[in-house]
Amino acid sequence: MNEFFKNGTSCLAGLRPATTALSMMLQANGGSADSDRNGFRSPSSVDAGLNGKHPRATSDHLRFDDQLMHQQGPNQHRVRVALYSHDTMGLGHLRRNLLIAQALAESPLQATTLLITGAHEANFFSLPSGADFLTLPRMHKDQHGKYTAGQLAITVEDLVCLRAESIRSALDAFRPEVMIVDKVPSGAFGEMLPALRSITEKYDTRCVLGIRDVLDEAKVVRSEWLQSSHEVIDDFYDELWVYGDQRVYDPIKEYDWPLRLAEKVRYTGYLDQTRRLDPSPRASFQNIATSSPGGMQRIVCTLGGGQDGFQLAETFIDALPRTGAEGILLTGPFMPPHLLRSIQERAAQRTNIRVLDFTPEADKFICSADRVVAMGGYNTVCAILSYRKPAILVPRVSPRKEQWIRAQRLQQLGILDAIHPDELTINSLREWMKKDLPQPNIHPDVIDFSGLDRIARLVSGMVDRKAKDRSNFIRGSV
């Protein structure tokens, strides 16, 4: 992240070590490191967890939690899991957490989940059983990595304080047994730090950092994941889950992570997107998400969020054959309005292209496609592979090279095709559309797609260990 506070003292020093950011946040909220507004007492030093495991809940806190569970009754208790995603650009983090929440609800855990998100588009997605959203005021990140308040006419500094207090208050009320944070250990500009400290001390919450298979090129990750990020992981996180296959990309090796970090890593495997689609809501899409009439080939082009997908959209329209093929173009909700209008006007000159600016379930269209043209975001790639669709990726290469690295690795495995955006032309894309393409060979010996089941087992193991630790701690303190 770029440092953006130019003047004065921030309530969250987003790029400083965890202790500094947390201390300043507590002071700004009129509190201290020793107590909070609910009357719980915390260890006296804000530095208590540094250079070692963060202190767990006291026996008083554990007894309090047990009393609440007893009042609810044993048959009413469902495992409580919270999932956080900062969602400053695109919807990938949110969609990944929704899928994980669904898998946990459908597992023997029957988890109830609180999804904390910065994307107001969350309200358009179907929720799994026992799940609900806490939607934070929006933070916007542009193509150049600059942050602003999304809608409110306030500074980013004030927005971060508002979001941080909202998160902390919600998690204090929800009391999750497991907390899963997506990608950013401390949250956007440190907004998760007060909440992480609170829930680990009061409720012995087990915390997980979940990351996609590729973060960025190695030199950038080594620069961004400074010592402060490692300290946050040391202090608050029990495990680090990589939503990918070590054989495809190994962050430990690529990013040269130290042993103390590597020991927390668990490779879940990729996330099977076929679990996302349910037969009942799928029926409502039958008018558009079915095979094309007259035996025409259906080619779906999806741009993810769409912020930087204009070049690919324009090329797709011009490259699509005028006969024998139907095109569906999913531009995404974040394409600038003037560019979206240009794309719609261009497509209106064709009779075999449909343009949709937003759909909460793009996977339905990927499922119905004969082949797919896409950028290289994590969820889109997982959907393409889950449905075994022939595909070509034209990935984003700026401000991060994550999509290009993923596309190259999968192309090397012979699973899909990839082309650098600088080499994209109408002719090159049209030639690919005409090629005979086999269904990708997605075999467990090639790539692991057991991520959702493995995540459920990992959460179950954490809950079991927490219960044993609680029992032993209370027994020893009596």
Q: What is the CATH number of the domain that holds 414?
A: 3.40.50.2000
- 327, 320 contact by CB (below 8 A): yes
User: Both 412 and 456 in a single domain?
Assistant: no
Which of 79-83, 116-120, 224-228, 467-471 has the largest mean confidence? 79-83
In angstroms, rounded to a whole number, what is the distance separating the alpha carbons of residues 370 and 291? 9
- Residue 276's pLDDT is 82
pLDDT tens by residue, 450-464: 999 999 999 999 999
SS3 category, 298: strand
Residue 73, pLDDT > 50, answer no
Which of 146-160, 184-198, 288-302 has the largest mean confidence? 184-198
Average pLDDT value over all residues in the chain: 83
Residue with more model confidence, 68 or 240? 240
pLDDT tens by residue, 256-280: 999 999 999 999 999 999 988 754 4
Residue 26, pLDDT > 60, answer no
User: Both 120 and 257 in a single domain?
Assistant: yes
Q: Which residues pair with 209 in a beta bridge?
A: 181, 240
pLDDT tens by residue, 140-154: 777 666 788 888 999
Confidence of residue 76 (pLDDT cuts 50, 70, 90): low
- Judge whether 393 lies within some domain: yes
Find the mean pLDDT for residues 25-50. Answer: 36
User: Both 370 and 473 in a single domain?
Assistant: no
- Judge whether 10 lies within some domain: no
- Residue 359's pLDDT is 85
- Residue 477's pLDDT is 61
- Residue 15's pLDDT is 35
- Judge whether 424 lies within some domain: yes
Residue 246, pLDDT > 60, answer yes
Confidence of residue 70 (pLDDT cuts 50, 70, 90): very low
- Residue 148's pLDDT is 83
User: Both 156 and 297 in a single domain?
Assistant: no
User: Both 265 and 406 in a single domain?
Assistant: no
What are the two backbone dihedrals, phi and then psi, of residue 410, each rounded to the nearest 5 degrees?
-70, -30
User: Both 371 and 351 in a single domain?
Assistant: yes
Confidence of residue 469 (pLDDT cuts 50, 70, 90): confident
Q: How far is CA 464 from the centre of its chain?
A: 25
Instruction: State the total domains in the chain.
Output: 2
Give 218: exposed, middle or buried? Use CB within 10 Å, 0-12, 13-18, 19+.
middle
Residue with more model confidence, 115 or 282? 115
- Judge whether 3 lies within some domain: no
In angstroms, rounded to a whole number, what is the distance separating the alpha carbons of residues 32 and 26? 5
User: Both 414 and 310 in a single domain?
Assistant: yes
End-to-end CA distance of the chain: 47
Where in the sequence is the domain holding 336, given as residue range(s)? 276-434
User: Both 243 and 301 in a single domain?
Assistant: no
User: Both 344 and 466 in a single domain?
Assistant: no
* Torsion sign, CA atoms 288, 291, 297, 298: positive
Q: In what order do the strands lie in the sheet with 391-393?
A: 353-356, 325-330, 297-302, 371-374, 391-393, 417-418
- Judge whether 113 lies within some domain: yes
- Judge whether 117 lies within some domain: yes
The answer to pTM > 0.85 is no
- Judge whether 349 lies within some domain: yes
- Residue 11's pLDDT is 57
Residue 1, pLDDT > 60, answer no
- Judge whether 8 lies within some domain: no
Confidence of residue 120 (pLDDT cuts 50, 70, 90): confident
pLDDT above 90 as % of the chain: 63
User: Both 246 and 190 in a single domain?
Assistant: yes
Confidence of residue 475 (pLDDT cuts 50, 70, 90): low
User: Both 428 and 290 in a single domain?
Assistant: yes
User: Both 62 and 140 in a single domain?
Assistant: yes
